Amino acid sequence: MKYLTAAAATAIDVQLMDPARGGFALSQLMELAGLSVAECAYKLLTGSQRQQQRQQQRQQVLVVCGPGNNGGDGLVAARHLHHFGVDVRVVLPKPAVREPFVSLVVQVAALGIPVAATLPSANEMRSHVGLVVDAVFGFSFAGNVREPYAAILSQLKVVEKEVSILSVDVPSGWHVEQGNVSGAGLEPTALISLTGPKECARFFTGRHFLGGRFVPPQIQRDFGVEIAEYVGAEQSVELFV
C-alpha cells in the first residue's frame, strides 16, 4: 500500500482543486470527505445486526472539530449523521470565523444539533456516547498541541479505552509521518484515511478505512494511491493489509 507524506497529501489537494485537473472547490471536498466520514461512523455505530442497529442508534455520536479543514469535515459529517437518524453533538472549542466554516456551523445549528465549546464529562461520555469522531487535527498539523485542544485531547485519552473513537485522516496529536511520537496523541479504535493513508497509518493497529471515492482515477494513479473497490452507495471501505 502507498502511504502519503504531508507534502504528497497537500499536492493531491492542489490537484483536486486545479480547475483543469480535479475541478473541485474546497467546500465540495469538505462535503464529500465529511460524507465519507459520516458513512464510516454509521457503519461503526450500527454494526451489521438489525437488533444492534436499533440499540446503538440511541447512543450519541460526539463530533469534536478542530480549527482547520479536518474540523470542517467533522461539521459536514455531523450534519449527515443527523440526517441518518443519529443523535449527534458537536464540540467546537473555538468559534468559526471564516468560510466555509461559518456556514457549516449555521447548517449544523439549523438542524438543532447542539454545539458546545467543551466536552461532556468523562462519566457522561462513558454512559451516553457510542462513538467519538475525532476531527481535531489533520495532515497539516505540526508542532505542539496548544490550548484549548491540549485539554480536549487529554480528556479524550481518559476514555479512549472505554469509548470508541474514529479519527479523521490522522489521529489527533500524531505526527503525520512518524506517528504518536509524543505519546500524547489519541489511540483511536478506527481511522478513516481520506484520499489515501498517510505515513503515520503504518503505526496504526485498529480498524482502518479509506474514504475518497471522489478522487478521479488519474490523480489516484499519478500519486500511486490505492484505488479501492467501493460497493453500491458506500463512501468508505475497510482496508485489510
Residue 138 annotated as part of some ligand binding site: yes
Residue 72 annotated as part of some ligand binding site: yes
Listed by start position, the domains of the chain span 6-239
Query: Looking at domain 6-239, which of 3.30.1360.40, 1.10.1530.10, 3.40.50.10260, 3.90.1150.10 is its CATH number?
Result: 3.40.50.10260
Residue 139 annotated as part of some ligand binding site: yes
For residue range 10-29, list pLDDT tens digits in order.
999 999 999 999 999 999 99
- Residue 145 has what pLDDT? 86
- For residue 202, the 8-state DSSP code is G
Q: Is the pLDDT of residue 56 over 60?
A: no
Residue 143 annotated as part of some ligand binding site: yes
Whole-model pTM: value is 0.94
- Residue 88 has what pLDDT? 97
Q: Is the pLDDT of residue 49 over 50?
A: no
Residue 169 annotated as part of some ligand binding site: yes
- Residue 233 has what pLDDT? 94
Residue 211 annotated as part of some ligand binding site: no
Residue 87 annotated as part of some ligand binding site: no
Q: Is the pLDDT of residue 142 over 80?
A: no
Residue 140 annotated as part of some ligand binding site: yes
- Residue 139 has what pLDDT? 87
In whole angstroms, what is the distance from residue 100 CA to residue 27 CA? 6
What average pLDDT does the chain have? 92
CA 175 to chain centre: 16
Average pLDDT over residues 136-155: 89
Query: In sequence order, what are the beta bridge partners of 4?
Result: 198
Residue 66 annotated as part of some ligand binding site: no
- Residue 55 has what pLDDT? 43
Residue 123 annotated as part of some ligand binding site: no
Q: Is the dihedral of CA 50, 40, 34, 227 positive or negative?
A: negative
- Residue 50 has what pLDDT? 42
Average pLDDT over residues 172-197: 94
Residue 222 annotated as part of some ligand binding site: no
Of 63-72, 91-100, 115-124, 140-149, the one with minimum mean pLDDT is 140-149
- Residue 103 has what pLDDT? 97
Cell of 76: 459536514
Could you tell me the pLDDT band of residue 211, with boundaries at 50, 70 and 90?
very high
- Residue 241 has what pLDDT? 63
Residue 71 annotated as part of some ligand binding site: yes
- Residue 161 has what pLDDT? 94
Dihedral through CA 199, CA 18, CA 135, CA 170, nearest 10? 0
Could you tell me the pLDDT band of residue 143, with boundaries at 50, 70 and 90?
confident
218, 189 Cβ separation under 8 angstroms:
no
For residue range 159-182, list pLDDT tens digits in order.
999 999 999 999 999 999 999 998
Average pLDDT over residues 149-167: 96
- Residue 54 has what pLDDT? 45
24, 98 Cβ separation under 8 angstroms:
no
